[in-house]
Structure 1
Amino acid sequence: MIVKFCGLKRLVDVEMCNKLQPDMIGLIFAPSPRKVEKDLAKDMVLAKSPSIKSVGVFKDQNISEVIEIATYLQLDFVQLHGKEDYEYIKHLKDLGFGVIKAIEVERQENIKRAKRYVEIADFVLLDRPKGSSLDITEVAKLADFDYIIAGGITPENIDKFLNLNPVGIDISSGIETDGFKDFTKMKKIIDKVNKYKVGETKNG
């Protein structure tokens, strides 16, 4: 199972990740309190362990800007949170970037829309609408395809997300205290996922 820690904005966040070894780290370039400037992002990418994949998060940005940043940082994946279409994704794929397409889901129709991206994106990410307190696990149960899940995951409630058996989890605010990444919370997530993996192996 993929673990992605998103919204890193300091070099110390990367250092914590190097100790914990999530599969991916996310750097945000769309409007957000966690947005990072590309020069700091470059230092962060250079500081990460080679085993950790770098993901740049964008939303409805001009594709030339996305390509410029992704190339400058040599990102492994581009994560798209807007209305980016099939051709937009295909162009990024043709340039050699992995693509994670994020879809906000509230109901079954959104799940059907998300499924359309399965054949072109490397991963489809199911997220809840911004500012929503929706229990996304209830909607995600309707998906009949592999997905990464995000939206309200914390060390306290992660079990119900893991029980959906997603291909990955994506967590940002749930590993923060007062707006900054918290090593203890991050470690709890890693420990819970590792415990879940062991259980899956035994049951399998």
Structure 2
Amino acid sequence: MSVPKLKLCGLHSLNDVFTVSESSADYAGFVMAESRRRVSPETAKAWLDTCPLPGKKIAVLFVNAPLEEIERTVEIVNPDIIQLQGDETVRDLEFIKNATGREIWKAVPHDTEALEKMKQYEAAADGFIVDAKVKGARGGTGQQFDWSHVPGYVSFGKERGIPVLIAGGVNPDNAGELVKFHPWGVDVSSGIETEGQKDKSLVMEMEKRLNNNENHVS
């Protein structure tokens, strides 16, 4: 098993982008949907122009956004991945993928029907993020779901050769426990923040936990 991929999400300041640039994260995410971490496409582009992130893939997050908004963001930010956090259908995913030519990752809240939903989406999705289900929220809550279900999600991804990232309340204190399940990737936002800003020391601690040789086999 390899070290899990690391996605640092919810960047909402230039300082956050600098913090990610100094990390070993594989992915960086910007929230375009209504959220306390929301940024405009123009702002995200300005930050990336000031502090490029070579070697890291950029994801932009939407919740039930119209295609025109997604296309405009893609034109401005030029992301690698479009992450859909809402009630988008399989047809929506296919339509957005064909229109933008970008990878499409679908967020799925953990519940008893999550794996069945992933099976429905798998033909159109290039990756999945499994997050805690919190009423009235679309991710970024810092809430953790029951990780005893993680092996099922890991198996789903391995059997199909599709990335599945685990999100929801992941932080340096519990990442070592999560890594024991050998997820393809880990998606972190509030777990690496101090007073609403990405904290370099917490990012470094997260990297250390994910690279812990006691929890994976190279």
TM-score clears 0.5 = yes
Partner of residue 137, structure 2: none
Are 1:102 and 2:107 matched, yes or no? Answer: yes
Secondary structure of the 1:20 match is: coil
1:172-183 counterparts in 2 under 5 A? 172-183=189-200
What's the CA shift string for 1:5-45, capped at 9, x where partnerless? 00001111111111113101000011111001222111123
Identity, % of aligned positions: 27
Structure 1 residues 133 and 55, CA, compared in 2 at 3 Å: closer, same or farther? closer
Q: Is the 8 A contact 2:59 2:83 kept in 1?
A: yes
Instruction: Report the count of equivalent residues.
Output: 200
The one of the two structures with greater contact order (alpha-carbon pairs below 8 A, sep at least 6) is 2
Partner of residue 61, structure 2: 57
What's the CA shift string for 1:154-198, capped at 9, x where partnerless? 100002221221111000000001111111101111122223499
TM-score where L is the length of structure 2? 0.85
Which 5+ residue runs of structure 2 have no aligned equivalent? 135-140, 158-163
Are 1:140 and 2:150 matched, yes or no? Answer: yes
Are 1:155 and 2:136 matched, yes or no? Answer: no
Deviation (angstroms), 1:141: 2.9
Bigger drift between 137-146 and 26-35 goes to 137-146
Looking at structure 2, the residues matched to 105 and 79 of structure 1 have their Cα atoms a distance apart, in angstroms, of: 16
Structure 1 residues 197 and 65, CA, compared in 2 at 3 Å: closer, same or farther? farther
Query: What is the RMSD of the two structures over their aligned residues, measured on CA atoms?
Result: 1.9
Which 5+ residue runs of structure 1 have no aligned equivalent? none
1:1-204 counterparts in 2 under 5 A? 1-46=4-49, 47-94=51-98, 95-107=100-112, 109-130=113-134, 133-143=143-153, 144-146=155-157, 147-196=164-213, 199-201=216-218
Looking at structure 2, the residues matched to 77 and 200 of structure 1 have their Cα atoms a distance apart, in angstroms, of: 28
What's the CA shift string for 1:89-129, capped at 9, x where partnerless? 1123223111110001122x222112322232111111111
TM-score where L is the length of structure 1? 0.90
Structure 1 residues 136 and 62, CA, compared in 2 at 3 Å: closer, same or farther? farther
**One-letter amino acid matched to 1:49:** L
Deviation (angstroms), 1:83: 0.9
